[in-house]
Amino acid sequence: MTGVDLDALLHLASGLAVEAGELIEEMRASLEGSTGQGLTGGDLETKSSVVDVVTPADKAAEKLIIDGLESARPDDAILGEEGSDRLGTTGVRWLVDPIDGTTNYVYDLPAYTVSVGAELDGVMVVGAVYEPKGNTLYAARLGGGATRNGQPIRCTGKADLETALIATGFGYLADRRQGQAEVLLEVIPAVRDIRRFGSAALDLCLVAAGQVDGYFERGLNPWDLAAGAIIASEAGASVGDLRGGPPSPDYTLAAPPPLFELLRDLLVGLDADQRP
């Protein structure tokens, strides 16, 4: 990992996440009405299913971030939710989610974020997640701890299931959701309560900040989890799949180490990562 300045990568990621967040806020403010009706009809396209929407703001924000990355670091690889996919030669790959929580954005609910992460030789090294409504920037680089608006944050020390507040999320396809709901049916009675905010990147940052105890979800994309995972991990959480590997589209679980073990055992017992 020599030759790459991780602080410089984090500075770039943070600046672009905030700039893109300001852009999507401007675009939202220019819409008619204050709720979802401003973003219906011709403004909305769909992706994997009719409820998986993409707005002009998703595309404009991704373009802003990609343009910024290309001008600062033209030889890096980039993968973005709205279609950016290019190879690089430096070992650095950027993972970009221009609006994580697009459904909330459409409905003018506050829980959406811009997520910009970078891996070096396949290892996550930098993450920046910006929540425009709260003007909150979460950031971390490998070995440097995690911050919220520049102040250090830590996950909770929760070590039992019964009083653990757990965030989760659901995919866009009906059979995936059915499996996730079946798992939840068994988890809810075992924990304090469940939260579904609607942005995986934010869920992971809330674990980092100790505002929920843990988070799990099946079926995330690499851009959903990249930045949030290193932020949670640098805040002291264990972050992984259910089989000893790194967080992945198969499964993402984040929690303080003792709670991680308890949740992993519970979820493995429910075959949570083996369902559709």
Residues that bind ligand IPD (CB under 6 A): 81, 97, 100-103, 169-171, 198-200, 217, 219-220, 224
Residue owning tokens 């950031």: 139
Structure tokens at 137: 């920037």
Give, in degrees to the nearest 5, the angle at Cα 184 between 180 and 190: 155
CA separation for the pair 152, 235 (Å, rounded): 8
Which whole-number Å values give the CA distances from 52 to 28, 59, 104, 150, in the listed order? 18, 14, 12, 33
Please identify, using beta-carbon distances, which residue of 107 and 170 lies nearer to ligand IPD: 170
Q: Could you confirm whether 75 is annotated as catalytic?
A: no
CB of 54 to ligand IPD, least distance (A): 8
Residue 100, interface with Ca ion (CB under 5 A)?
yes
Looking at the Cβ atoms of 46 and 163, the one nearer to ligand IPD is 46
Active site annotation includes 99: yes
Closest-approach residue to Ca ion (CB) = 100
Rank residues 90 and 248 by Cβ distance to Ca ion and give the closer one: 248
| Length of the chain, in residues | 276
Nearer residue to Ca ion within complex by CB, 227 or 266: 227
Nearer to Ca ion, 109 or 268 (CB): 109
Assign 194 to helix, strand or coil.
strand
Name the DSSP letter for residue 52: -
State the number of binding residues for Ca ion (CB under 5 A). 3
Does the protein bind Ca ion through residue 224 (CB under 5 A)? yes
Alpha-carbon span 209 to 34, nearest angstrom: 30
Q: Widest CA span of the chain, in angstroms?
A: 51
- Which residue is it, tokens 């403004």? 43
The one catalytic residue in 24, 66, 78, 99 is 99
Helix ranges restricted to H, the chain? 6-29, 56-72, 102-107, 174-187, 200-208, 222-234, 257-269
Contact partner, 119, from ligand IPD, Ca ion, none, Cβ < 5-8 Å per class: none
How far is C-alpha 173 from the geometric centre of its chain's CA atoms? 19
Please identify which of the residues 224, 234, 241, 273 carries the catalytic annotation.
224
Question: What's the min distance (Å) between Cβ of 175 and Ca ion?
Answer: 20
- The verdict on whether 224 is a catalytic residue reads yes
Partner in contact with 199, chosen from ligand IPD, Ca ion, none, beta carbon below 5 to 8 Å by kind: ligand IPD
Quickly count: other Cβ atoms within 10 Å of residue 42's Cβ.
Answer: 7
- Measured CA to CA, the distance from residue 23 to residue 207 in angstroms comes to 27
Cβ at position 22, least distance to Ca ion in Å: 19
102 binds, among Ca ion, ligand IPD, none (CB under 5 to 8 A by kind): ligand IPD
Q: Which of 97, 131, 203, 241 is catalytic?
A: 97
Whether residue 81 lies in the annotated active site: yes
Nearer to ligand IPD, 90 or 221 (CB): 221
Name the segment binding Ca ion (CB under 5 A); options: 22-30, 167-175, 218-226, 264-272.
Answer: 218-226
Assigned token pair, 94: 């950027």
Give me the residues that bind Ca ion (CB under 5 A), please: 97, 100, 224
Positions marked active-site: 81, 97, 99-100, 102, 224
